[in-house]
Structure 1
């Protein structure tokens, strides 16, 4: 994997909104974003489903708190306690109703004025499964045995239609995984 400095432009805002409140990172993987957030002095609590990825993240970012957890389980912070939630390419494995439930729980864990920094698979993400796979429901495919959801602008807007103020919603192509990956980057404030 290559460096993916997507958080850099949002870091000043992230620090401002998080303040002394904890930051929750959903699907931290090997800790790339965790390292950026902790390096900015933020108190990060991160989780991932993969024990192997967490082992790497713990070594990379010893100041963060990590746990192995499935996003479908209750979130590890109390309601209205997080100043910032980061979910980079971790919300796309679920049916639409379950995805909406997860976003509602993220909303509940953020304090009013808290921010969600989120990246979602794009329907233009042809290199990573947005076409040519069995469709489970609209834009939700079984990709090599793994369910994956892909978003167009209207789906991303619909996902965050209730209780969020949209700060930014932009389409990008990253080279994080060597091959180009199309995605939506959403920045939302909890209202």
Structure 2
């Protein structure tokens, strides 16, 4: 029997590493929802001071083993960020801000802004409304573009919703729609880079 195919690598962070290195001079990089640590490993390998967390203890343990130079914790994004009173130079949140009711999502984004040093950067990816392979249709709707997907809430964003999420106190540096093959079937998402405004 042939070995299972390895998941395709998703090199999305590569082009953002210069921005993150520059932002990292002002404080550590905070990774929200690190999962099993693919991005954590890449960020740590780039020499960034990294604090990462995930709500899954098992995933956080895997991420910690992949990136021993990083500080990796088990934590919910709705809890205080583990920065020990410091400000972050940058925040990375790849496909980790879509699980919450809208008011909680707004609160998390507001706290991300507050934790950043002046001019600090946020790099995030968000589920797109055309992400039909991964829940954007065919599931019970619990709010606008918010569905119960296999028992878990999952939000999907159009461009207007992304811009609305970051309307207050942010400067949009880049916003692009992408499709990744990382998960097997094509996954549609928005990729945004933002700077905290004073």
TM-score computed with the length of structure 2 as normaliser = 0.94
Q: Deviations over 1:117-153 (max 9, x none)?
A: 0000000000000011111110000011000000000
Question: Among 88, 113, 133, which residue is 1:107 paired with?
Answer: 113
Question: Among 71, 89, 94, which residue is 2:100 paired with?
Answer: 94
Question: Among 24, 28, 31, which residue is 1:22 paired with?
Answer: 28
CA distance in 2, matches of 1:149, 1:70: 17
CA distance in 1, matches of 2:114, 2:86: 6
Q: Equivalences for 1:144-155 in 2 at 5 Å?
A: 144-155=150-161
Equivalent residue pairs, number = 191
CA distance in 2, matches of 1:39, 1:18: 14
Higher Cα radius of gyration? 2
Tell me the CA shift for residue 79 of structure 1: 6.2
Residue pair 2:26, 2:117 contacting (<8 A) in 1 also: no
**1:156 match: secondary structure:** helix
Q: Which runs of 4+ in 1 moved over 2 A?
A: none
Residue pair 2:26, 2:88 contacting (<8 A) in 1 also: no
Question: Among 172, 180, 190, which residue is 2:178 paired with?
Answer: 172
Q: Deviations over 1:57-82 (max 9, x none)?
A: 11111000011001111111256610
Q: Deviations over 1:18-44 (max 9, x none)?
A: 115111000001111111111111000
Question: Among 11, 21, 29, which residue is 2:17 paired with?
Answer: 11
Question: Among 22, 35, 39, which residue is 2:41 paired with?
Answer: 35
**1:62 match: secondary structure:** coil
TM-score computed with the length of structure 1 as normaliser = 0.97
Question: Among 129, 132, 138, which residue is 1:132 paired with?
Answer: 138
CA distance in 2, matches of 1:46, 1:84: 12
Q: Deviations over 1:64-107 (max 9, x none)?
A: 00110011111112566100100000000011111000000000
Residue pair 2:92, 2:123 contacting (<8 A) in 1 also: yes
